[in-house]
Structure 1
Amino acid sequence: MKTPTRPQPATSLPRAPKEDAGKRSTTYLIMMGIRLVCFALVLFVTPYSWYTWVFAAMAIFLPYLAVVVANVSANMTAPTALGPERMIEAPRAEPVPRAAAPATRIIRIDESPQEPSRDR
């Protein structure tokens, strides 16, 4: 049997999956753009020196780093659930005396079967 849980406050819900995927792909594409620039610098910048090796290393290792950074940053920014003590208390209402309570009404709604459409 499941134990009933309290609803989670809307202010502590995680980011929407569509928004999360968009942020991760943007981070990945920016890092791949930097990799492309590093690769071009390796090929076209002369004379070759120590910085050529730095550009080559970045062009080699940036794909791995891009995937790791995109996935880790998505999990790190997820908000944590707020505890119930942080929620706003509802004001207490005065109890209504029994004599002043209105009589209970019952509303009954019957659904009739839908007729087939004659447009077909």
Structure 2
Amino acid sequence: MKSSSRPQSATSLPRAPRDDESRRSSRYLVLMGIRIACFILMVVITPYGWYTWVLGGAAIVLPYIAVVLANVGANVRRTGAENPERALPATPSAPFIPGQDAPVLRIEETRAVERPRDSSDGQA
């Protein structure tokens, strides 16, 4: 896991589902508008020639492309997103030099000591 020393950025978060849906539907509608324009230009422009076939092919292929692009979410195409989990560095912060004492933390448990009762507690 990659460790980073900088704080997480709000821009590394994925898009909200509502914003992602709006972006995908607007892209779909734009491509369908281009398809309609291709179909109209194919019929209206005369004399018919090679461009008629190109416009007809675009009118046939664009719905497939529009549906595929509309179904691709933002998280599939996005690369380099940061993982929100923090990772510990793989190497120690200070190198250990043989012959020197390594810093050691010692934690010891002691038995709970019962404190003497004070006469001010109200008990006799």
TM-score by length of 2: 0.54
2:72 is paired with a residue whose SS is helix
Task: Write out per-residue CA displacement over residues 29-62 of structure 1, whole angstroms, 9 at most, x where no aligned residue.
Answer: 0000000000001111100000000000000110
1:53-79 Cα offsets, whole Å, 9 max, x none, are 000000011000011123336331376
1:9 deviates by 6.4
Which one-letter code corresponds to 1:15 in the other structure? Answer: R
Q: Which has more radius of gyration?
A: 2
Gaps of 5+ in 1: 1-7, 86-120
TM-score, structure 1 as length reference: 0.56
Contact 1:38–1:58 at 8 Å: present in 2 too?
yes
**8 Å contact kept, 1:39–1:56:** yes
| Alignment of structure 1 residues 72-111 onto 2, 5 Å | 72=72, 74=74, 75-77=76-78, 80-82=81-83, 84=86
More helix by proportion, 1 or 2? 1
Q: Which runs of 5+ in 2 are unaligned?
A: 1-7, 88-124
Is residue 34 of structure 2 the alignment partner of residue 34 of structure 1? yes
Further displaced range: 27-36 or 70-79: 70-79
What CA deviation, in whole Å up to 9, does each residue of 1:14-42 have, x standing for no partner? 11000000000010000000000000011
Aligned positions, number: 78
| Partner in structure 2 of residue 66 of structure 1 | 66
Q: What is the RMSD of the two structures over their aligned residues, measured on CA atoms?
A: 2.4
% identical equivalent positions: 53
Q: Does 1:23 align with 2:23?
A: yes
SS in structure 2 of the partner of residue 65 of structure 1 = helix
Instruction: Return the letter of the residue paired with 2:21.
Output: A
User: Corresponding residue for 1:96?
Assistant: none
